[in-house]
Structure 1
Amino acid sequence: MTAPATGPLRGIKVLDLTSMLAGPFTTMLLADLGADVVKVEPLTGDRTRGVGPFREEDDPAQALGGYFQSVNRGKRSIVLDLKSSEGAERFRDLVRVADVVVENFSSGVMERMGLGYEALAEVNPRIVYGALRGFGDARSGESIYDSWPAFDVVAQAMGGFAGITGLVDGAPLKAGPGIGDIFPGTLLALGVVAAVRHAEHTGEGQFLDIAMYDAVLALCERIVYQHSYLGENPKPMGNGHPLLAPFDIMPTQDGWIAVAAPSDKHWRILTKTMGCPELADDPQFADNTARVVNVVAVRKILGEWLAERPTADVVAALGGRVPIGPVNTAADIFADEHVRTRKMLVEVEQPGSTTPVTIAGSPLKFSSTPASVRGRGPKLGEQKPDAVLAEWTATHQDRSVSATKGDESHD
């Protein structure tokens, strides 16, 4: 069960038609921020329910897999067959008292069921309708790729990310996390919040469209200005940076560490710590521009010093003085005091087990309206559509009365 909402979106009612990662990440953020998010699932449920991973002791008939649990925490679930006239009508009833609808179907799916934005806006003109697709929606500009299916790796490839990621002179490389899903999902959540604010002030809902391709391109903004200013087609640079030095991830005696000292102040601290303070005034290395030109020499000097020292010693020598950080494993993260203090690892119930599971916490921190992981993911159809409708209708009526009184007070 979900804990009471404390976040700034408490009272906002969201109908979540999404599946897989990108859309559920959007609605996960909204739920963490206090929105009442109800997943509207088909009889078979979100496709990730069976993906796993599961623990050996988990009861497969009840347990929630890690993929589903992580991005569907704090939500509720109802089952509706939207392809049936009865299911579609019950969905419209919910839309009448909802604030937001979010979906990540292929273009045209909702329209074929008679549930596209225009149809739902007739039912509720205040509705904010968020859509996330690989190449966007024709309402915002019809893409030549409109009919193409897309996954995270496709967005990373076409949006420019894979083309600048990887070893120098090496093959393109995708990111470890699914940024082609997660970043578009984050932008959609931001857009939903902005559109809800607009609806609250004007009574006007709207259609919100995020393309995975567009989002990754925005994430890779550097390649756009490099091409515009210099005519370059940026390529993979390993762990380095084309405009900053030193700025790298390099091996230590027993691991790897990130070191970023492009400012002259940090470069001076770094060279003094390495025992070669004269490099701070050497014309080849005296400022960032010179260090970028001589980056091979910078890497050699820094690399030799790091290779002779354990990671812990480097952290002890430079931590808090120069921007550095060890390359953490998951086990390192679980052991890090920062993560515990910031509540970034959260235990939630695992159905069918007395032992909880751990998922990532919310990075959004508020002083007055704290965001939180309010509980585990929902079992399929754990709530009933009629019960949710009755609950939402009551709160909708209460809000309407409050809004009317507020208008009267300004007369």
Structure 2
Amino acid sequence: MSGPLAGLRVVDLTAALAGPYGTMMLSDLGADVIKVEAPGGEVTRRVGPLPQREDTSEAEGPMLGGYFQSINRGKRSIVIDLKTDEGHEEFLALVRTADVLVENFGPGVVDRLGIDYATLNAVNPRLVYGTLTGFGSRWAGESPYIDWPAMDITIQAMAGPLSVTGTESGDPVKIGPGVGDIFPGALLMTGILAAVLEARTTGIGQHVDIAMYDAILSLTERIVYQYSYTDQVPKPIGNTHPILTPFDILKVKDGWIAIAATTQLRWEALCRIMGKTELISDPRFITEFERSHHRDDIRVILDEWTAAFTRDEMTQMLGGKVPYGQVNDIRDIFESPHAWAREMLVEVENPNADRPAIIAGQPLKFSRTKPDPLVRAPFLDEHGDAIRQEIARSKESTDE
């Protein structure tokens, strides 16, 4: 492996989306991420969509579904049954070789399995132990919800985003991507890397805890200060912004566009492009503050203007001049020169399929320590023998 995290060994006990997304980030950056799976494999191995095949005969060998492939690329898989004495001992031997362990089990599971932080810290004092749950570990704050299960939509509901995401009528709408999972997963990796840096100085690891609720409340920071300053509860307001204007989604002849000309210079540039320079000196729109109080008037003006043009025509007029973008679906993104130029759409091997899988790339870029191109997700226990040999060599080296 190459990349800025080359040489870092991560034991990955995570499942579903939040944890595997975070450990995938470490793998993308060069860490050796060992995905420990129970017999039968992690649940998302059985989730589609499965690869397309023109040949309708049964595939020769296993297939990798899109869900699993996307967030488990570059990892190695080993099957260990943590519920058996033999599996438990084998797992502890693996932990002795690791720098990091990440888990997102439900409340109480690590204690029942005998793989809690205190136990593994005694085995490997330099281990950084990352935990991701819905409402956090007891040592970090005794939440009344600590034993509740959690998923993306329930966290979006409880931590604030759904209270401000939705139509102007007030109906809440879930944020499309699974931010309730993905942001906590990415944030946990930030904490883990900070702890790894500290452990390399002190030789002592620590427990890093992320609650999905906490992460998403921090992501929704605007409603916190708004309520603190005004005593008013922010509500859904569609695609606009409660403070800045114009900031909206607008209909054109063949779809939708986004415009956010919120500063004075951007607003004046937009007025000139529209051929409506008189709006610059209009008392209703003279400052950012005045414009925020005449949002509806601005929306009427913009609706009338944009309705006469197509998306491409709007791009010609506005692209690069004011904050602007077409509302793209994934077909548009696949045709985007940016997405391919930035390697945000990448091909990986897709066994027993007619074509490679295309998955979302890694947004972090490095000028010197560039990771290797992404490789596919592992088959179940694909690397079990190799990892066991590595554990044995490490033990022999330690015993000498």
Shift of 1:6: 2.1
- Other structure's SS at 1:208 match: strand
Give the match for residue 254 of structure 1. Answer: 254
Give the match for residue 130 of structure 2. Answer: 130
Shift of 1:169: 2.1
Q: 1:258 to 1:397 in 2, by over 3 A?
A: farther
Shift of 1:340: 1.0
1:275-325 deviations in Å (ceiling 9; x for gaps):
101111212112111110000001111111111110111110010010000
Establish whether residue 55 from structure 1 lines up as the match of residue 55 from structure 2. Answer: no
Give the alignment's Cα RMSD to 1 decimal.
Answer: 1.8
User: Which residue identity does 2:210 align to in structure 1?
Assistant: I
User: Which residue identity does 2:46 align to in structure 1?
Assistant: G
Paired residues for 1:174-185 under 5 Å: 174-185=174-185
Give the match for residue 404 of structure 1. Answer: none
Shift of 1:369: 1.1
Give the match for residue 325 of structure 1. Answer: 325
- Other structure's SS at 1:112 match: helix
Shift of 1:121: 0.3
User: Which residue identity does 1:56 align to in structure 2?
Assistant: Q
**Which TM-score applies when normalising by structure 1?**
0.93
Paired residues for 1:191-202 under 5 Å: 191-202=191-202
Shift of 1:372: 5.2
User: Which residue identity does 2:43 align to in structure 1?
Assistant: R
Give the match for residue 17 of structure 1. Answer: 13
Give the match for residue 228 of structure 1. Answer: 228
Give the match for residue 277 of structure 2. Answer: 277
* Distance in 2 of aligned mates of 1:168 and 1:394: 63
1:185-228 deviations in Å (ceiling 9; x for gaps):
01011111111111111111000110011111000000000010
**Deviation beyond 6 Å, 4+ runs, structure 1:** 395-399
User: Which residue identity does 2:5 align to in structure 1?
Assistant: L
- Asked if the contact 2:52–2:354 (Cα under 8 Å) also holds between the matched residues in 1, the reply is no
Give the match for residue 80 of structure 2. Answer: 80
Paired residues for 1:150-165 under 5 Å: 150-165=150-165
Establish whether residue 27 from structure 1 lines up as the match of residue 23 from structure 2. Answer: yes
User: Which residue identity does 1:26 align to in structure 2?
Assistant: G
* Distance in 2 of aligned mates of 1:60 and 1:164: 49
* Distance in 2 of aligned mates of 1:298 and 1:99: 55
1:33-74 deviations in Å (ceiling 9; x for gaps):
110001000012110001110133183851100000000000
* Distance in 2 of aligned mates of 1:112 and 1:359: 36
Q: 1:214 to 1:290 in 2, by over 3 A?
A: same
Give the match for residue 408 of structure 1. Answer: none
Establish whether residue 42 from structure 1 lines up as the match of residue 42 from structure 2. Answer: no
Shift of 1:170: 2.7
* Distance in 2 of aligned mates of 1:269 and 1:18: 49
Q: 1:302 to 1:334 in 2, by over 3 A?
A: same
1:11-44 deviations in Å (ceiling 9; x for gaps):
0000000000000001000000110001000012
- Structure 2: segments with no counterpart, 5+ residues: none
